[in-house]
Amino acid sequence: MTEPITTMPSPFRMDYTYVAGTGRSVFLRGLAERRLMARCCAGCEQVYLPPPEFCSRCLRELEPPFELDGRGVVSTFCVVSFPFPGQRIDPPYVVAHIQPHGAGTRLMHLVREVEPEDVHIGMAVEPVWVSDDELDTSLLSIRHFRPVHYGGADA
Amino acid sequence: MRDVAVVSFAQSPCQAANRRDDMADILLPVIREAVYAAGIGRDDVDFVVSGSHDFYEGRTFSYIESLDAVGAWPPISESHVESDAAWALAEAWSWLQLGEGDIALVYGIGRGSLPADLDQVVPAQLDPYFLAPLAPHRDAIAGLQAHAAIEAGLTSEQGMAEVVVRCLDAATGNPLAQRSGQVDVARLLDAPYVSSPLREHDVAPIGDAAAVVVLAADDAARRLAERPAWVRGLDHRMDTHYPGVRDLTTSPSTRRAVGRAAELAGFTTSDVDIAELHTEYSHQEAILTNALELNGAVVNPSGGPLAGRPVTATGLIRIGEAARQIRDGNADRALAHATSGQALQQNLVCLLEGDG
Amino acid sequence: MSRRVAVTGVGQSKQAKRREVSIGAMVREAVTEAMADAELTFADIDAVVLSKTPDLFDGVMNPELYLADAMGAVGLPVTRVFTGGSVGGHAAIFGAHLVQAGLAERVLVVAYSKESEGNFTWALSRGLPFSAPLGAGAGGHFAPVIREYIRRSGAPEHIGWQVAVNHRLNAVRNPYAHVHRPDITVEEVRDSRMLWDPIRYLESCPSSDGSCAIVVTGEEHAGHTPRPSAWIHGMAWRTETGHFAGRDEVNPVAGQQCAADAYRQAGIDDPAAQVDVAELYIPYSWYEPIWLENIGLAEVGGGWKLVEDGRTMFDGALPVNPSGGVLSGNPTGATGLLRFAEAALQVRGLAGEHQVDARRAIGHAMGGASQFHALWVVGSEKPEAAW
Ligand SMILES: [Zn+2]
């Protein structure tokens, strides 16, 4: 007689305020100035990047922030090879775990300016920052990482 | 049964909106305080269990962020409930019964201030087909319950205001309360309704805080606390979901939980000196007092949730506060209650006792 | 306080996109089947544990409240556990703990996900505040770990394809599995679309709706039905922090310790020889050798050789995921419990078409960035002593 009701859309909208926290805001402010700010725990000598306010191992406040140059190595990576919603660049592209020199933690970021098939574990990389007008308190202030070309300032 | 006790409790101040600290920054100082107060280090903890909820945090897997704050290295034995941390404490208490370890750390963290509008969030707790699409105001179902409670002669708008006056007065002695002070009933009754017959003061103020309880078993408890608050009985029960099916003026699940807890404890609620009740609304004190058959106990000496309600930590704070009264020697026996869901759908009761 | 604990009832729903049933009805399918298997009524149950992955995935907050009636949980203690993808394993273990501690006689453990009902992409693409939206996607986390495993072990690339084929062929024997591809071949997997290099489409798990339920009871209550019980010989959970220097995500210490603890309880000192079958949490095919090594069923660097030699195939010496596993059906909230339940079915001799010869079986679950680990060993024989 009548069609059964099989689905019923029930849209929700929820808006949130995210709190950065004092520890994280040091890092975010640094990004807006092209600076990667790390902090060290005096208890276990772990260097956190990004740094929280406390060392979870030792339950103590971290030491004052200091700057790292962001150069590091690819500890591992994958090549995103297919399109899906939310992408900002066309596949294929490389998403890598980067181990910055001097940091005890890893950052996840894009590796570009190199063919995906030429990326390898252990490859030396450096951050490429956005232009002045695009700088923001966000990891997107680093556009991506690229291979370090030794043998000249800009070679 | 192993004897298990609360040996330490700490919480951060209840704040309407903490815009300075992230989850880890709120939580870590509280963990440090509770752990140090027990005279132990992080590595002495045998089991960690927590309570929080993604819908308040506005992101999936938010609990992993709090766990990173606690630090799980070397690996730990650990679990999590996606609800009030009082249920995490229940899990810790069960785990300690196994005898695989002696010390458990329980934490709850909740930030009710992150959702821009709780009216967008709270209806998601309801049946997604029949109730959630109605998108009731966050206090609407509590309003129905309050009205029914008044009709049943359990309380009155005047009586509800008197509960609020008593709680806010008690909260003046609680530096971590969100709201406190001397107010008078007549002035409260002049305020407009938010969801009649509820006025703003009848609604526990939602906010942000973390709470941490350290539980220890047997000799470890005796070693870590001068006067441990022994968990003599603990139980929790669930009622049916549909408000239209329930008699909102009673709380059968509370009644059942306290019956079982009293059986385990070997004493009844007429023996308790103080009771910390998870009253999200002032009218619920009357419903709970009935269901628990409280008789002469001082209710919510901390001020209770009407003085501050950090989501998913409020129930655990009740247990911590009840235990504090025992540990400080102000009570020999105490009751703590926690709730989850709309209009007291799910309830937990914990009976505590000091050494005689 | 400790005593022997057994699984006496197992139920599950068909895994698929289940638009024809409500959440409550789908949960009830598994609950009804588990209760019938255990020959119990709701009046016999003392406590309920609910396992569910993020509530934002399908839009119901605290679903234990709405599901109280569907789970037969009115009047009972209900605990809602959530520990990432391992949650089903955590829930099973917590349920067993309640019995072991003497706090309950019979516990119903329930698990489900119905992600087709929510906007999954929305929930995941909300982005984490303060981290860069890199567009890594769901497999973007696991693919780098797999790459590292391949580099370390020197495994040939067809290992991942072979695992994908093995599990899908197993799934043909399991009517509850989501994916049924009886004609799948290694070439087909190899030629399927590259998603997150090195992960190909057919090496990945689907997104499924589905539910699972089990009944765990104390020793006194086992043996009351004609069907055999699965005895819990050992169980453990371990968690480790996600990001710190020197963390080995290919072979996480938490996973090693979790397995070692469960084996110790079970009196197992040579797991590869003493375990007959394993249901492991393998969302991408390369996780078969990764977990085999992590939980001590293969030597480090040698997990892929078990695949190469066919030992983990259905009729091999150590079959892995005879049910078809996560690669053949992934209702995330239930996926972990399904592994634990399938292990129980194997030692009970009730696995139907996908039954293998098994006296001792492993159920395993993993969550987060390989941070959460849960594992139990179940056996057809009553363990010698309670722990
Ligand atoms: Zn440290």
Read off the CATH number of the domain in which B14 is found: 3.40.47.10
The beta-carbon neighbor of C193 closest among A82, A116, A142 is A82
Task: Closest CB to C136: pick one of A75, A80, A138.
Answer: A80
- A to B CB pairs, distance under 8 Å: 83
Identify the band that residue A150 occupies on the pLDDT scale cut at 50, 70 and 90: low
pLDDT classification of B191: cutoffs 50, 70, 90: very high
Q: What is the enclosing helix (H) or strand (E) of B6?
A: strand B4-11
Q: What is the DSSP string of B137-203?
A: -TTHHHHHHHHHHHHTTS--HHHHHHHHHHHHHHHTT-TT-SS-----HHHHHTSPEEETTEEGGGB
The predicted-structure confidence for B273-296, as pLDDT tens digits, reads as follows 999 999 999 999 999 999 999 999
Contacts of A78 in chain C (CB under 8 A): 136, 139-140, 143-144, 146-147, 196-199
Rounded to a whole number, what is the distance in Å from the CA of B182 to chain C's nearest CA?
36
Instruction: Work out the minimum CA distance from B28 to partner chain A, whole angstroms.
Output: 7
Query: Where residue C97 sits, what CATH number does that domain have?
Result: 3.40.47.10
Contact with chain C for residue B121, Cβ under 8 A: yes
pLDDT given for residue C331 in this prediction: 96
User: How sure is the predictor about C119, in pLDDT bands with cuts at 50, 70 and 90?
Assistant: low
Residue B285 lies in a domain: no
Tell me the chain C residues in contact with residue A85 when contact means C-beta distances shorter than 8 Å.
121, 125
Q: Which of B354, B348, B352 is nearest to B90 (CA)?
A: B348
- Would you state the pLDDT for residue C1? 40
Closest CA of chain A from C162, distance in Å? 21
Neighbours of B162 (CB within 10 A): 16
For B46, nearest residue in chain C (alpha carbons): C238
In a domain, B53, yes or no: yes
Q: Is C62 on the interface with A (CB under 8 A)?
A: no
Domain membership flag for residue B51:
yes
Distance from residue C249's CA to the centre of ligand 1 (Å): 21
Closest alpha carbon to B318 in B291, B284, B351, B356:
B351
* Confidence band for A153, pLDDT divided at 50, 70 and 90: very low
Touching check for B61 and chain C: CB below 8 Å? yes
Tokens of B110: 């909740």
Residues from chain C contacting residue A77 (CB–CB below 8 Å): 144, 147
Residues 6+ apart with CB under 8 A from B197: B143, B146, B147, B150, B157, B160, B283
Cα–Cα dist C192/C177, whole Å: 21
Cα distance between residue A59 and residue A42, in whole Å: 11
Classify burial at A34, counting beta carbons within 10 Å of its beta carbon; exposed 0-12, middle 13-18, buried 19 or more.
middle
Closest-CA residue of B relative to C130 is B22
Beta bridge partners of C49: C79, C109
Contact list, C131 vs chain A (CB under 8 Å): 108, 139
Chain C interface includes B244 (CB < 8 A) = no
Q: Using CA atoms in the order A30, A36, A37, A41, what is the torsion angle rounded to 10 degrees?
A: 160
Total of domains in chain C: 1
Percentage, residues of chain C above pLDDT 90 = 85
Gap from CA of B337 to ligand 1 centroid (Å): 37
Predicted pLDDT of residue B67: 83
The reported pLDDT for the residue numbered A152 is 45
Closest CA to C144 of C65, C250, C60: C250
Q: What proportion of chain C, given as a percentage, has pLDDT over 70?
A: 95
Residue A105 lies in a domain: yes
The residues pairing with C10 across neighbouring beta strands, listed in sequence order, are C214
Q: Total structural domains in chain A?
A: 1
What's the one-letter identity of residue B269?
T
Question: Using CB atoms, which residue from C20, C151, C243 is nearest to A105?
Answer: C243
Q: Which residues contact C187 (CB under 8 A, 6 or more apart)?
A: none
Helix (H) or strand (E) holding A47: strand A47-48
Spell out the residues 6+ positions from residue B324 whose beta carbon is closer than 8 angstroms to its own. B9, B229, B302
Q: What is the DSSP string of C351-374?
A: -GGG----SEEEEEEEETTTTEEE
Pairing of β B103-111 and β B47-51: parallel
Measured distance CA(C101)–CA(B8) in Å, rounded: 24
pLDDT the model gives residue C59? 87
CB C77 within 8 A of CB C294: no
The minimal CB distance from C19 to the residues A7, A75, A82 is found for A7
Q: Which amino acid is at C5?
A: V
**Residues of B with CB below 8 A from C237's CB?**
77-79
What global pTM score does this model have?
Answer: 0.96
Whether residues A104 and C132 touch (CB distance < 8 A) is answered with no
CB interface of C with A, residues 22-61, below 8 Å: 59
C62: left (phi over 0), alpha (psi -120 to 50) or beta: left
Confidence of residue A22 (pLDDT cuts 50, 70, 90): confident
Residue C54 has what pLDDT? 87
Q: Is the pLDDT of residue C124 over 60?
A: no
pLDDT at B96: 98
Which of C58, C61, C261 should one mutate to test binding to chain B, selecting the residue with the greatest count of B CBs within 10 A? C61
Write out chain B residues lying below 8 Å of C244, CB-based: 73
Cα B174 to chain centroid distance, Å, stands at: 16
Q: Is B284 helix (H, G, I), strand (E, B) or coil?
A: helix
Mean pLDDT value of segment B309-334: 98
Name the DSSP class of A116. G
Are β-strands C199-200 and C209-218 bridged in parallel, bridged antiparallel, or unpaired?
unpaired
Contact A138 C132 (CB under 8 A): yes
pLDDT per residue over B222-261, tens digit each?
A: 999 999 999 999 999 999 999 999 999 999 999 999 999 9
Q: Which residues of C touch B124 (CB under 8 A)?
A: 55, 59-61
More confident residue, B21 or C127: B21
User: CB of A56 within 8 Å of any CB in chain B?
Assistant: yes
- How high is the pLDDT of residue C384? 82
Q: Taking residues A119-147, report their average pLDDT.
A: 95
Tokens of B119: 């009216």
By C-alpha distance, the chain C residue nearest A27 is C130
Could you list which residues have their CB under 5 Å from ion ligand 1? A 41, 43-44, 55, 57-58
- pLDDT tens for C304-322 read 999 999 999 999 999 999 9
Do strands C230-239 and C209-218 pair parallel, antiparallel, or not at all (unpaired)?
unpaired
Amino acid, res. B336: A
- pLDDT range class, residue C57, cuts 50, 70, 90: confident
- A50 cis-preceded (ω within 30 degrees of 0): yes
Residues B38-90 have pLDDT tens digits of 999 888 999 999 999 999 998 888 888 888 777 888 899 999 999 999 999 99
A93–chain B Cβ distance below 8 A for any pair: no
**Averaged pLDDT of chain B:** 96
Which two structure tokens, joined as six digits, stand for C274? 């003493």
| Mean pLDDT score of chain C | 94
Q: List the domain range (segments joined by +) for residue A81.
A: 21-154
Do B91 and C62 lie within an 8 Å CB cutoff? Answer: no
> Quick check: B134 contacting C, CB < 8 Å?
no
Two tokens, residue B138: 């966050």
Cα C78 to Cα A73, B257, C62, C71, C350: the distances in Å are: 48, 12, 11, 10, 28
Q: E strand or H helix at B233, and its extent?
A: strand B229-238
| Residue A155, pLDDT score | 35
CA nearest B344 in C: which residue?
A: C65
- What the block records as the tokens of A88 is 């900002």
A92 in reach of chain B (CB within 8 A): no
DSSP B203-229: BPPEEEEEEEEEEEEHHHHHHH-SS-E
pLDDT for A151 beyond 60: no
Single out the residue of C5, C73, C10 nearest to residue C343, CA to CA: C10
Is C194 in the A-facing interface, judged by CB distances under 8 Å? yes
List the domain range (segments joined by +) for residue C52: 5-120+207-221
Please tell me which of the candidates A86, A96, A105 has its beta carbon nearest to residue C244.
Answer: A105
Phi-psi region of B73 (alpha: psi -120 to 50; beta: other; left: phi over 0): beta
* Contact present, C373 and C281 (Cβ < 8 Å): no
Print the domain residue range for B82.
4-116+206-224
Mutate which: B55, B82, B236, B239, vs C, most C CBs within 10 A = B82
Does residue C72 form part of some domain?
A: yes
Conformational region of residue C184, where left means phi above 0, alpha means psi within -120 to 50, and beta covers everything else? beta
ipTM value > 0.95: yes
Say which residues have a Cβ less than 8 Å from residue B303's Cβ, sequence separation at least 6. Answer: B167, B168, B170, B171, B172, B173, B174, B177, B179, B180
| Total count of domains within chain B | 1
Contact between A13 and B129 using a beta-carbon 8 Å cutoff: no
Beta carbons of A59 and B25 less than 8 Å apart:
no
For chain C, the farthest-separated pair of C-alpha atoms sits apart, in whole angstroms, at 57
Q: What is the pLDDT of residues C200-256, one digit of tens each?
A: 999 999 999 999 999 999 999 998 889 999 999 999 999 998 777 678 999 999 999
Nearest CA in chain B to C88: B79
Interface of C with A in 352-381 (CB under 8 A): none
